[in-house]
Structures are given as structure tokens and as C-alpha cells.
Structure 1
Amino acid sequence: MQAEIAAFLRHLDRERNASLHTVRAYGEDLAQFARHVRAELGRDGHPRDVDHLLIRAFLARLHRQGVKPVSSSRKLATLRTFFRYLCREGVLDRNPARSLLSPRMEKRVPTYLDERDVALLVEMPGEEAAAMRGRAILELLYATGIRCSELVGLDVSEIDRSARMIRVLGKGRKERIVPFGSRAGAAIDTYLSVRHQSRPRTDALFVNARGGRLSDRSVRILVAKRVKAVALAHRVSPHTLRHSFATHLLERGADLRAIQELLGHASLSRAK
């Protein structure tokens, strides 16, 4: 099955133009399923060995391991897509995952902060370069509602400071233009005045102390430290600022479809 998985991942990358994150996630799910097949059969499996019972046993194993329904549902969706690809390629004549139902998931209301808590979070003290970078990151996350991965993927050239717009490359490598306000603009201008101190080795907007592109993990650590510093009672991540951005726009009367476009959601239901 390893050869078929490798071919599928190449298809995602080269023909579907999927992001690196998406290709990696599909690869991890399929590698986990391949290990399950090997354990069940006692040998490396071929896609023709897989039936709905083998996939159902995989889902049961995930349940016993305490994997959340949302994660199990995503893994099942990965298998459906993988086996559909193999059917199109003529490797299989039927999709063994097609008839299986996704695990039932609880509907959760996204966590968001009120405007006072957001103000506390983004007002990062300090005059050193790291503090200026931190303020710019937090202000931009809240001002635009972009994903953490989109933020760290930004290059300096993708910011129009005079028009206060950023060009974002989102999921599926779809491009969108998102505006930001004067507070975020001021924070970005201040940070850019000291960015050179890190001796950037990349065009990335946000760079680390060694001059490389800042990582997703570094942004999450920054947010966690700020939450601890201001003693917020909520569980907060960069995605919480995204939810807060959308909620506050909605509360101020913004159109839901406009919010959907700003967030980069493919469907209105995702924005809801």
C-alpha cells in the first residue's frame, strides 16, 4: 500500500495544488491506517485487501485509544478520498470507505473573547524588538481573522501598508485580500522598523531571532504566554482571535457572507 499512498500524495501536491500542511496530514492518516492493516493481516496490505470491515475495525481502534470523534471523522474522510483516487486510477473498482458513516460529533460553540479581553491580550508591553514583533502578530491576528498558518506564511511584499491590505494564501492555496485597521497598521510599521535587527534570511514578514521564518508553534507559545501574563480565565489559542474577529464583526452588523470571504471559508456553513 506504500506505493499507492506515495502516488496519492504526489497527486495532491502536483495536481491538486494542496498545501504542505494538507499533504502532511493526509500522509499521517494514511500511514496510521497502513499500520492498522499490517497489524490486522500480519503483513503489508494492498488496497485490494481493504473492505468496509477492516476500515470499521480501524475506527473502533481509534475509539478505544480515546481519539476524538472529529479526528476519527477526518481520518475516515482521508480514506474515502484516497480510495476514490484509486478507483479513478483503475487500481480498485469500488470504494470500501464509501458506505461508512462518520462518527457522531458534538456541536461546539467556538470560544471567543470579548473586546476588553482582546485589548488586554494584544497590548503587549516592552520596547525591544521581540515585544514589537509580538504586538504586530497579535494585532494582525485579531484585525484580520487570518489563520496562524496564514500569518506565518506572509511575506513582506504581501502587505500593502498604505492601503492597509494583506494578500493571504489560504487553504487549497486560494488567495484572498483582507483589510486591517489603523492599530494593526501602526503595530506593523513599528515592527518593520526593527525587523532588520534579526538579520532576515527570508522574505517572511515575521522572522525569529536567527532571521528565519517564524513558526506556527512560536506564535502559539506567544499567545499562551500573553494569556498567562494577563490572567485570562479562557482557554485561548491563535484561533480564538479568529473567532473573536468574526464574532465582533457580526455583533456590529457585518454581513455573514462578507465575513465568510474574509475568513476564507469555502461555504457559508463553515462561517456559521
Structure 2
Amino acid sequence: MSKKAAQDAPQPDRLIFPGVAAPLAAEARLWLRRLAGVRRASPLTVEAYARDVRQFFAFLREQSEAPPDFATLAALRPVDIRAFLARRRADGVASRSLLRQLAALRSFAHHLAREGLARVDSLDKIRSPKVARVLPKALPAEAACEMARGEDDDSHRAPWILARDAAVLALLYGAGLRISEALSIRRRDAPVGAVESLTIIGKGGKARAVPVILPARKAIETYLELCPHRLAKDGPLFVGARGGALSPRIVQLTVERLRGALGLPESATPHALRHSFATHLLSRGGDLRSIQELLGHASLSTTQIYTAVDKARLFEAYRAAHPRA
């Protein structure tokens, strides 16, 4: 997430929980503050958890005339939790969102238990919704390279903006970055010249070093040569048309244009370039542990989904290594 986006995100101390007993609302804000500080949750995660708990409080208020308080939560039965989840499901909420909402409620319940304020044992008796495992959709290597070049033949856009977009996309595919990670790079950390690596702060505030290949470095150098704005050393490397921090939405729109120009499917998104980075490394013999480090995955099991994507390489390795293959 960019610095500006983090500043614009709601602060835990300012979040309100209408229709809730004041002590419970205060404790919810303390819980969110600890998530942001001690657990180093991202502002977007804090905002989502706050929204999840607020919706649950609103449901409880509908069931009773009294504002929800600690006693209300302690008295909850599994059937009450299931009724809330059923309501959310009826509203069209998908399993993945329900899973996150249940995780938010459990996190808050554990906080209340640690503080000795209430035990909400009913939440631990609820089975989590099943979520279908969606495999990442990587692009063919040639298509990924074309998209990373960012050439959409749009004569109405300034050359420096075309160069900027190409540099961002080159990082997504060449270094496996998320959009938020690419846009969080500061000018003074730009990988140009002899600088061949970047230190990225990913999810959960975890730092990782990623190598930056020569084509990506040259794309950034071209962008810097053409950029008309004076970039502060501590400011963002990538800026918008008016010189402010570049919005992720601009990158998404750029990819939509490229998708049409190159005849690629809707699955060709900015994040697909990150998936392509991992899949293509694996297909060229990269090991999962190294790819895990490059992607910044906390668990190797997250990276292992790419083994299902690249079945061809696995079968090739089997035929080459097995004595009776």
C-alpha cells in the first residue's frame, strides 16, 4: 500500500460502532489498534475487520432492543452465529468473505478472552465455510513479456506516462511484485544503474530482497529520463499525471487497454504477471523455497499451488529422474 493510501485509511481510534455499549465499542477500537500496531496488520485488513465486526454488532442489535455488550457476546450460542452467517449468505456474500468475517470475529473474541472481559466459546464451535481453491492463471511467457513491455500504441498518452506504465509492469513480471509493493518504492531506492536488487516491505510489514533484472532496470531508467516531475528522494518513484502518488487503479486500467490490444483473456490482470513470474521460474527449474522467498509468502504451502499450475514440468522431471519412467 502506498504511503498516501495508508494515511487515508481509517484509523482504529476514529472508528465508530453505532448502537453498541460504550465499553464494548472502546474495546473493539483497542483490539483494532493492537492489530495495526503489534500484529502489524495492513490498514486494509484493519478496515475490513472493523467492517466485519460492525456488521455483526448490527445483526445482534436487530435481535434485541438493548445495545450489544460483553454479556451479549458471552451468551451467544452456535445457532446465533449460524443465523448471522446465513443472513450474510442470503445477502450474496461469498464463502471467502464469510471466512474472513468469521476470522475477524474469532480474533476479537480471543482478544476479549485474553483481557478477561468475555468468553465467546460459541465461535469456536462453528465450522468454517469451504472455499474453492482457485489456481492462479499465469500468462504464456510470450504474452507476459509483451504485456510487461507496456506497448499499447496509444498516441493520446504522453511518452513519459507510457514509459512509467511499462516500468511498473516490468517490475510486476520481472520481480514478482504486487501492485502495492511496486507503488511503495521510493525514488531513492530506485533500482537503476548498478543497483540490481530491491528491499520490499510486503504483507504484514515483512521485508524481503528481490533481484531486478536488466530489462526492468532499463525501463525504470527510461521513465526517469522522461518524467517531467521533480521526484523527491523520500517520495514515491512512480507518480501520476499531476505528480502525486500513482494510483493502483491507473495500473489496472493500463492492463485493461493492453489486454484488448494484445487479445488476452480477462484473467490477464496485473496480479497475473506476479503469478506468471512464479510459474515461469518454476518451469525453468526454480525451486519452491527460493520462489517462496522471492514472492514473500509466509508459508511454503501458499507457494505450492504453483506446482499444480505447472504440471508439464513436474511430469518432465518425473520422466527424467525415475528409473522406470
Give the TM-score of the pair, scaled to structure 1: 0.93
How far is the alpha carbon of 1:33 from its aligned partner? Answer: 1.9
Structure 2 partner of 1:133: 164
Seen in structure 2, the aligned counterparts of structure 1 residues 186 and 80 have a Cα distance that, compared at 3 Å, is same
Please point out which of 251, 257, 267 is paired with 2:283: 251
- Listed one character per residue, the Cα deviations across residues 111-148 of structure 1 (whole Å, up to 9, x for unaligned) are 11011111221232367111000100111100111111
Which structure 2 residue ranges, 5 or more long, are not aligned?
Answer: 1-23, 305-325
Deviations 1:35-82 (Å, cap 9, x if unpaired)?
A: 222223344312431323332222111211221111111111111111
| Counterpart pick for 1:114 among 117, 140, 144 | 140
Tell me what 2:300 maps to.
Answer: 268
Kept in 1: contact 2:138–2:275 (CA 8 A):
yes
Partner-residue secondary structure (3-state), 1:145: coil
In structure 2, give the amino acid aligned to 1:140: L
Q: Does 1:104 align with 2:127?
A: no
Question: Which letter maps to 1:233?
Answer: P
Deviation at 1:185, TM superposition (A): 0.9
Between Structure 1 and Structure 2, whose CA radius of gyration is higher? 2
SS at match of 2:123: coil
Which stretch shows the higher mean deviation, 216-225 or 131-140? 216-225
Of 74, 94, 101, the match for 1:75: 101
Q: Is the 8 A contact 1:159 1:167 kept in 2?
A: no
Deviation readout 1:2-60 (Å, 9 max, x if unpaired): 22221111111222222222222222222222222222334431243132333222211
In the alignment, which residue of structure 1 is the partner of 2:182? 151
C-alpha displacement of 1:167: 1.1
Partners of 1:158 and 1:28 in 2: CA distance:
35
Once residues 123 and 144 of structure 1 are traced to their aligned partners in structure 2, the CA distance between those partners, rounded to angstroms, is 14
Are the aligned partners of 1:141 and 1:148 in contact in 2 as well (CA < 8 Å)? yes
Q: Distance in 1 between matches of 2:96 and 2:162?
A: 36
Displacement of 1:94 in angstroms is 4.1
Q: Shift of the alpha carbon at 1:187?
A: 0.3
* Matched letter for residue 83 of structure 1: A
1:17 to 32, 40, 43: 40
Q: Structure 1 residues 227 and 194 mapped into 2: Cα distance closer, same or farther (>3 Å)?
A: same
The separation in 2 between residues aligned to 1:190 and 1:56, in whole angstroms, is 56
Paired residue for 1:237?
269
Structure 1 CA distance for aligned equivalents of residues 62 and 248 of structure 2: 34
Give the corresponding residue for 2:312.
Answer: none
Secondary structure of 1:193 counterpart: helix
Structure 1 residue runs without a partner (length 5+): none
- Contact 1:8 1:85 (C-alpha < 8 Å) held by counterparts: yes
The 8 Å contact of residues 200 and 210 in structure 1, kept in 2 or not, is answered as no
Contact 2:191 2:217 in 1 (8 A): no
Task: State how far apart, in whole Å, the 2-side matches of 1:242 and 1:184 are.
Answer: 14
The CA RMSD measured in Å over matched residues stands at 1.8
Q: Which of 194, 204, 224 is equivalent to 2:226?
A: 194
Shift of 1:199: 4.1
Quick check: 185-194 or 19-28, which moved more?
19-28
Q: How many residues align?
A: 271
State whether structure 2 residue 61 is matched by structure 1 residue 38: yes
- Once the two structures are superposed, the pairs formed by residues 78-89 of structure 1 within 5 Å of their partners are 78-89=104-115
Q: State the match for 2:31 in structure 1.
A: 8
Q: Write the letter of the residue equivalent to 2:217.
A: G
What secondary structure is seen at the aligned counterpart in 1 of 2:122? coil
Q: Is the 8 A contact 2:289 2:300 kept in 1?
A: yes
Tell me what 2:199 maps to.
Answer: 167
What displacement does 1:194 show?
2.5
Quote the Cα distance in structure 2 between the aligned partners of 1:159 and 1:198. 15
CA contact (8 A) 2:191 2:212 kept: no
The CA distance in 2 between the partners of 1:93 and 1:183, in whole Å, is 56
- The aligned amino acid for 2:29 is A
Judging changes above 3 Å, is the alpha-carbon distance between structure 1 residues 47 and 219 closer, same or farther for their aligned structure 2 residues? farther
Counterpart residue number, 2:7: none
